[in-house]
Structure 1
Amino acid sequence: MAGPGWGPPRLDGFILTERLGSGTYATVYKAYAKKDTREVVAIKCVAKKSLNKASVENLLTEIEILKGIRHPHIVQLKDFQWDSDNIYLIMEFCAGGDLSRFIHTRRILPEKVARVFMQHALQFLHERSISHLDLKPQNILLSSLEKPHLKLADFGFAQHMSPWDEKHVLRGSPLYMAPEMVCQRQYDARVDLWSVGVILYEALFGQPPFASRSFTELEEKIRSNRVIELPLRPPLSRDCRDLLQRLLERDPSRRISFEDFFAHPWVDLEHMPSGESLARATALVVQAVKKDQDGDAAAALSLYCQALDFFVPALHYEVDAQRKEAIKAKVGQYVSRAEELKVIVSSSNQALLRQGTSARDLLREMARDKPRLLAALEVASAATAKEEEAGGEQDALGLYQHGLGELLVLLAAEPPGRRRELLHTEVQNLMARAEYLKEQVKMRESRWAAETLDKEGLSESVRSSCTLQ
């Protein structure tokens, strides 16, 4: 075998070229198959003499796990070979490098890009009770730079985890490692969720939360009980901040669960680009058109907005230029009709708003002995005022949801009578306002995304946000 300074080793059937990277016990090379196809692959070479018992177990684990996995967001193990000196893992080649390089060349990633970095792969692993245990940007590869698909790689530390497993072995990279691993406490699959939080933090803010000058400083920060503060810049959506704080919870028993992670509104797996996106969008449009013909403007608007939520990922997913242009043209028509319906619905909602305000005034008079009810009604009034401000929809929606939470509790405890009837009407009106605002926010975001896809001369970062899947 050739030594480290003598270039790559030789392997029958392949020409090994440049070195792509190296780890604790392996070096990865770019290689070409000698067959007619000249297929490009990545070959991980492990020198047998460097293997101790732990690294043999890691390697066998990686081969066992990757042999059984076929998934578009996980690097494929094509084959493995060995000779007297090395063991070779022949892997799918990812031309776009790793997520660490991708983040550092752009400094920070837009929220819409960070959102899609690896939900599908994590869900796939969790469904099979596989924990990666070494999630970090260097182990997330990009299939290409033109239209990158993210691929999870390097399963040397991965384990099939059971809830009752007791592990005390230090695994993974300390910068992305959950506190319970660093402190050598019992840990389980939730360590991967902490790592996801650290990676998301780095993608959004440009550096991980525990960036340190030394391992001692890093360990001190990880072992600390201080709550991790999120920077105010760049501004993030409320959902994104909520998810980050729940991922970066030091106590694993209070950390977000996998089920809640995948169901979280910011993750939004339902609207990830897929082969089903266009069919789901089309089915919703058919319903929208029917409601429109029946004169139900509010229902039609809601369905058009839901359809747009699937049309945008359908545009991301479509690779045929002609089909993409046809989808864009249709989306333009539906957005125009939705704007017309918005005017109609807005007019009737203004009437509802005026009606709701007078009913609320009467309810306020009848609630002088109920300070909690008065406080909830003040929140509802603040939401109404915020809604009428330019650009205040998102804040108004948060206030409506907070007010509704209080009023629903009070409604359940309110005895029958006139006040209960008014309270019930108030709750219905607020729900209608909140739903209406949700549709407005959705439609604006969908329209922005569709228009962004349609613009020419996009900057590289915006182009990335439109193509990263």
Structure 2
Amino acid sequence: LNRASVENLLTEIEILKTIRHPNIVELKDFQWDGDHIYLIMEFCAGGDLSRFIRTRRALPETVARVFLQQLACALKFLHDRNISHLDLKPQNILLSAPESPQLKLADFGFAQYMSPWDEKHVLRGSPLYMAPEMVCRQHYDARADLWSVGVILYEALFGKPPFASRSFAELEEKIRSDRAVELPSWPQLSLECRDLLAQLLERDPRKRISFECFFAHPFVDMEHIPGPESLGKATDLVVEAVRKDQEGDAKAAFSLYRKALEYFVPALHYESDARRKEAIRAKVRQYISRAEELKVLVTSSNKNLLEKGNPARELLKEMAKDKPRLCAALEVASAAIAKVRAGGAAAGGGGGGGGVAEPAGRRRELLHAEVSASPGTPGCPPGLAPEALCPRSLPTRSRP
């Protein structure tokens, strides 16, 4: 080993032996002899991110986002300790397993202790992922890592880095250019994703997104990163949602269900046990169904529904807009109820053959309740009484 290689290894050992993070590869031990230094690292059976992308050509935005969130967690941990990696690239990002992998940042040979205001001049890293200010031999600081994150995200989404070239001369020309990095129009990406890419791949480090803004960016969304606490947060919110639902506060219940679902998604990503994952999915489907019902009640176009005497009937009318015969039947029922309340007798429904066929679902459940409540109706017609998904059927204390 030459002097530079030894220094890089010693730097890596110094950094890795002092840090422990689920998204940073762990240094188990190290040994040396007269010619070599041996690093004994955590085993990562999933290979590296470069191969993962290459075998799939490109990654869906949802998958790329999960990896980005994990990388952001590792960088936040390092940034809080004034450590810059300075050689971020897919080859230095390992995956814990072939299935449901967890990202592990590795190879800290070029890493440096750098506070946000420190500047360096020595060329470090891999040119394809290196920030322009480093290639152009200018001053650079910790924001060079953010450019590399942008290149990695670009490659994950589009299958190749933005400055892919056949020679170093061609690569250097592209990096030195003043032209803004253009994002391909396909595949279609969310506005949040494109916004983050544009801010990461800003050539001028003074205009590039800061670490603070990167960690707070809605596409990174560190609050909802999959982790062991995701399910607990989701469950706490859904318990409160059920309570508000039972109290009749539809607006608060809908808001809480929606917030809970934002934690259930990362909880599903984090859960590795197939049976537990399916159990969570089953509960999530219930909560989504109830949230959709509440949304009808709280949307601005239906805000008057909450002020009516029978919200279930009004909800049924709203859900029956595509069924003219059902709407007409509901109007007859409403008129009959009004007449009874006024002291009159309800008119008969007219004979058979006028029934309304309705498939199973929430609308059928509401129709059953309406028929049961209507005057002159002798009970519930057979087959119209599946147990409705309502607040009473949702657990208020047990974990999903």
Relative to structure 2, which stretch is displaced further, 234-243 or 80-89?
A: 80-89
Contact 2:271–2:277 (8 Å) recurs in 1: yes
2:25 aligned with 1:68: no
Q: Quote the residue 1:367 is aligned against.
A: none
Query: RMSD between aligned alpha carbons?
Result: 1.4
Change (3 A) 1:212 1:321: closer
Where 2:66 maps in the other structure, the secondary structure is: coil
Instruction: State the alpha-carbon separation in 2 of the partners of residues 67 and 241 from structure 1.
Output: 37
Amino acid at match of 1:330: K
Normalised by the length of structure 2, the TM-score is 0.73
2:66 aligned with 1:111: no
2:87 aligned with 1:134: yes
Contact 2:297–2:303 (8 Å) recurs in 1: no
Where 2:22 maps in the other structure, the secondary structure is: coil
Q: Quote the residue 2:232 is aligned against.
A: 279
2:154 aligned with 1:201: yes
Contact 2:100–2:272 (8 Å) recurs in 1: no
Matches within 5 A, 1:183-194: 183-194=136-147
Deviation at 1:175, TM superposition (A): 0.4
Instruction: State the alpha-carbon separation in 2 of the partners of residues 108 and 73 from structure 1.
Output: 22
Contact 2:44–2:94 (8 Å) recurs in 1: yes
Instruction: State the alpha-carbon separation in 2 of the partners of residues 167 and 236 from structure 1.
Output: 35
Instruction: State the alpha-carbon separation in 2 of the partners of residues 62 and 127 from structure 1.
Output: 18
Instruction: State the alpha-carbon separation in 2 of the partners of residues 286 and 351 from structure 1.
Output: 26
Matches within 5 A, 1:44-443: 51-117=1-67, 118-346=71-299, 349-350=300-301
Runs of 4+ in 1 over 4 A off after TM superposition: none
Deviation at 1:323, TM superposition (A): 2.8
Where 1:88 maps in the other structure, the secondary structure is: strand
Where 2:213 maps in the other structure, the secondary structure is: helix
Instruction: State the alpha-carbon separation in 1 of the partners of residues 251 and 35 from structure 2.
Output: 70
Where 1:78 maps in the other structure, the secondary structure is: strand
Instruction: State the alpha-carbon separation in 1 of the partners of residues 154 and 8 from structure 2.
Output: 28
Aligned residues: 301
Q: Quote the residue 2:332 is aligned against.
A: none
Amino acid at match of 1:71: H
Relative to structure 2, which stretch is displaced further, 76-85 or 186-195?
A: 76-85
Amino acid at match of 1:130: I
Could you give the per-residue CA deviations for residues 222-277 of structure 1, whole angstroms, max 9, x where no partner exists? 01110111110000000000000000001111100011001000001111111111
Contact 2:86–2:111 (8 Å) recurs in 1: yes
Normalised by the length of structure 1, the TM-score is 0.63
Change (3 A) 1:163 1:225: same
Q: Quote the residue 1:392 is aligned against.
A: none
Instruction: State the alpha-carbon separation in 2 of the partners of residues 164 and 281 from structure 1.
Output: 39
Instruction: State the alpha-carbon separation in 2 of the partners of residues 304 and 326 from structure 1.
Output: 18
Amino acid at match of 2:30: F
Relative to structure 2, which stretch is displaced further, 72-81 or 51-60?
A: 51-60
Amino acid at match of 1:80: F
Instruction: State the alpha-carbon separation in 2 of the partners of residues 320 and 220 from structure 1.
Output: 49
Instruction: State the alpha-carbon separation in 2 of the partners of residues 323 and 203 from structure 1.
Output: 30
Q: Quote the residue 2:386 is aligned against.
A: none
Amino acid at match of 2:301: Q
Contact 2:130–2:148 (8 Å) recurs in 1: yes
Could you give the per-residue CA deviations for residues 132-168 of structure 1, whole angstroms, max 9, x where no partner exists? 0000000001111122111000000000002343311
Contact 2:82–2:116 (8 Å) recurs in 1: no
Q: Quote the residue 2:388 is aligned against.
A: none
Amino acid at match of 1:67: K
Change (3 A) 1:315 1:164: closer
Instruction: State the alpha-carbon separation in 2 of the partners of residues 108 and 332 from structure 1.
Output: 30
Deviation at 1:352, TM superposition (A): 6.2
Instruction: State the alpha-carbon separation in 2 of the partners of residues 143 and 322 from structure 1.
Output: 22
Instruction: State the alpha-carbon separation in 2 of the partners of residues 62 and 262 from structure 1.
Output: 25
Instruction: State the alpha-carbon separation in 2 of the partners of residues 194 and 93 from structure 1.
Output: 28
Contact 2:46–2:98 (8 Å) recurs in 1: yes
Amino acid at match of 1:223: R
Where do 5+ consecutive residues of structure 1 fail to align?
A: 1-50, 354-469
Contact 2:227–2:267 (8 Å) recurs in 1: yes
